[in-house]
Amino acid sequence: MSDSQFESAFLSALAAIQKDYAEAEAFEQNWMPEDGTYEVLLSDLRTGTYTDKESGEEVFYIKPVYQITAGPLEGKTFQGDMCTNKSQTSLRALKTFIQSILGEEATNNLQNDVQAVAEQVGALIGEARIYTKVAKNGNTYRNCAFNGVTS
């Protein structure tokens, strides 16, 4: 694509912000803050499905996105642990996440509970704990546990 394919006004607008663009930092992929506890806003709940490579089965996923609301990292966002129906361990993690959000309001009906969690997006403030875990195979994993609602 050559410069002639763009309007001169567009090229002028690009040139006007070149210095800011050059100094801007790119977002880190899959960034998480250092191990510790953070006050966070549930800012998004990403959901979808995928086909499991091993079993060929359709699997759903739920990924909370948090925004840090206090301290030097205020305003930065990160994704929490992905919850799926791939295994009993994953379902236990999902149930723990839902109960940490809804507390006694959890109904034990997955569709209702996921909908109720989704309704908390943008309103719920809580505490997230980031921690590092070494698996039996020696791999290191960063994890995020939502510890509960604070307001």
Q: What is the DSSP string of 31-64?
A: --PPSEEEEEEEEEEEEEEEE-TTT--EEEEEEE
Position 29 scores a pLDDT of 65
Q: Express each pLDDT in 19-28 by its tens digit.
A: 878 877 665 5
Tell me which H or E stretch contains 66. strand 58-68
Position 17 scores a pLDDT of 82
Q: Express each pLDDT in 28-41 by its tens digit.
A: 567 899 999 999 99
Q: Which domains does the chain have, with CATH numbers?
A: 28-149 (2.40.50)
User: Tokens 């195979």 appear where?
Assistant: 137
Of the ranges 17-31, 72-86, 114-128, which one carries the lowest mean pLDDT score? 17-31
**Alpha helix ranges (H) inside 8-140:** 8-16, 18-23, 88-102, 110-118
